[in-house]
Structure 1
Amino acid sequence: MKDTRRTRMVLGGLLVVALMMITVDYRGGANSPLRGLRDFGATVFGPVERVSASIVRPVGNTLGAITDAPGERRRADQLERQNQRLREQLRSAHLDKDRSAQLERLLGTAGMGGYKVHAAQVISAGQGFEDTVTIDVGSSSGIKPDMTVMSADGLVGRVTRVGPATSTVLLATDQTSSIGSRLEDSKEIGITQGRGRRGIGRGGDTPLRFQLLDAAAPIHVGQRIVTLGSQGQRPYVPGLPIGVVERIEKPTGGLTRTAYIRPFVRFTSLDVVAVVVAPPKTDPRDAVLPPKPSPTATPSPSTSPKASGSPKARPRGSKSPTTNPTPGE
Structure 2
Amino acid sequence: MFRLFGNKKLLMLMLALMVFIALMGLTLGRRTGLTWPERFVKDTVSWTQGWFYKPARYVAGFFEDVHHLRQTYEENKILRMTLSQYAKDTMRLNLLEAQNKQLKEVLGFTERQKGADNYKYLVAEVISVSPDPYSNTVNINLGSMDGIKENMAVMSIEGLIGRVSKVSNFTSSVQLLVDMNGGAGGSAERQLEKGIAATVKGKEDKVFGTIEYYSNEKQGLVMTRISQNSESELDIGDTVVTSALGQVFPKGLEIGKVTDKKIGDFGITYVATVQPKATDFRHLREVLVVKVPEVE
TM range (shorter): 0.5 to 0.7
Matched residue type, 1:261: V
What's the offset of the Cα at 1:156?
A: 1.7
Q: 3-state DSSP class of the match of 2:210?
A: strand
Q: Does 1:158 align with 2:163?
A: yes
Structure (1/2) with the larger helix percentage: 2
CA contact (8 A) 1:113 1:280 kept: no
CA contact (8 A) 1:182 1:227 kept: yes
Aligned equivalents of 1:144, 1:240: Cα separation in 2? 18
1:32 maps to what in 2?
Answer: none
Q: Deviations over 1:191-218 (max 9, x none)?
A: 113326x36xxxxx32311114313531
2:14 maps to what in 1?
Answer: none
Aligned equivalents of 2:125, 2:243: Cα separation in 1? 26
Aligned equivalents of 1:280, 1:223: Cα separation in 2? 31
Structure 2 residue aligned with 1:115, among 107, 119, 128? 119
Q: 3-state DSSP class of the match of 1:80?
A: helix
Higher relative contact order (CA 8 A, sep 6+): 1
CA contact (8 A) 2:121 2:289 kept: yes
Aligned equivalents of 1:93, 1:131: Cα separation in 2? 27
2:282 maps to what in 1?
Answer: 268
Structure 2 residue aligned with 1:136, among 138, 141, 144? 141
Higher-Rg member (1/2): 2
CA contact (8 A) 1:225 1:241 kept: yes
1:74 maps to what in 2?
Answer: 77
Matched residue type, 2:283: S
Q: 3-state DSSP class of the match of 1:99?
A: helix
Give the share of equivalent positions with the same residue, in percent: 25
Aligned equivalents of 1:122, 1:114: Cα separation in 2? 25
1:254 maps to what in 2?
Answer: 267
2:109 maps to what in 1?
Answer: 106
How many residues align structurally?
220
Q: Does 1:227 align with 2:242?
A: yes
CA contact (8 A) 1:102 1:272 kept: no
Structure 2, gaps ≥5 residues long = 1-56, 182-190
What's the offset of the Cα at 1:220?
A: 2.0
1:173 maps to what in 2?
Answer: 178
Aligned equivalents of 1:185, 1:94: Cα separation in 2? 37
CA contact (8 A) 1:115 1:278 kept: yes
Q: Does 1:193 align with 2:212?
A: yes
Aligned equivalents of 2:212, 2:129: Cα separation in 1? 20
Q: 3-state DSSP class of the match of 1:113?
A: coil
CA contact (8 A) 1:190 1:212 kept: yes
Q: Does 1:243 align with 2:279?
A: no
What's the offset of the Cα at 1:114?
A: 1.8
Closer/same/farther in 2, CA of residues 137 and 230 from structure 1, 3 Å limit: farther
Closer/same/farther in 2, CA of residues 118 and 252 from structure 1, 3 Å limit: closer
TM-score (ref. length: structure 1) = 0.59
Structure 2 residue aligned with 1:97, among 93, 100, 103? 100
Q: Deviations over 1:140-187 (max 9, x none)?
A: 101111111122222121111100111111112222231000023443
Q: 3-state DSSP class of the match of 1:103?
A: helix
Q: Deviations over 1:65-124 (max 9, x none)?
A: 423243123212322232123223322321232222232133124312221222111122
